């Protein structure tokens, strides 16, 4: 089941976000600040800019987003994924979450959907699924911890 999260889902969403960000943050030498992550999750829940997927009554995935104009064309609206966490072993849960996210793009009248992939750009299953759904790999980023 896909639905918008409520404040009652905050703790489970935090667990998912910590699982998602844990390795990524460590690989960048950044300490995760629990209170900051909580504020971020609560912000996206309070604004309704989120969806969660439940499997057998348990929240197993979430996506949160912001809507922003493209920096080179303010008439172009981008639905930019900010948090994407899905730890379900069942592919359909992730696909339901992605389809729900796409519906939110239509509701927001967004021109472009942007999904960050962190270090998954070479993951073959993800590339195949995104490709079949009409997504194209358009950019990546490098990062360096300033010392």
Express each pLDDT in 79-135 by its tens digit.
Answer: 999 888 887 677 888 889 999 999 999 999 999 999 876 555 556 777 777 788 888
pTM of the complete model: 0.82
Domain 2-132: homologous superfamily in CATH: Gcn5-related N-acetyltransferase (GNAT) (3.40.630.30)
Instruction: Give the number of other Cβ atoms within 10 Å of residue 117's Cβ.
Output: 18
Mean pLDDT of the 65-88 span = 90
| CA pair distance 51, 97, nearest whole angstrom | 7
Question: What gap in Å lies between CA 14 and CA 54, rounded to an integer?
Answer: 15
């Amino acid at each position: 089941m896909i639905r918008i999260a409520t404040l009652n889902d905050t703790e489970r969403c935090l667990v998912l976000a910590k699982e998602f960000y844990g390795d990524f943050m460590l690989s960048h030498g950044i300490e995760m600040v629990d209170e900051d992550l909580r504020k971020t999750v609560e912000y996206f829940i309070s604004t309704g800019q989120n969806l969660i997927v439940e499997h057998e009554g348990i929240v197993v995935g979430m996506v949160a987003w912001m809507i922003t104009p493209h920096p080179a064309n303010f008439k172009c609206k981008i639905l930019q994924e900010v948090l994407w966490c899905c730890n379900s072993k069942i592919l359909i849960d992730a696909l339901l979450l992605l389809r729900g996210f796409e519906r939110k793009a239509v509701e927001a009248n967004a021109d472009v959907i942007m999904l960050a992939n962190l270090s998954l750009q070479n993951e073959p299953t993800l590339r195949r699924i995104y490709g079949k759904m009409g997504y194209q790999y358009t950019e990546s980023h490098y990062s360096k911890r300033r010392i």
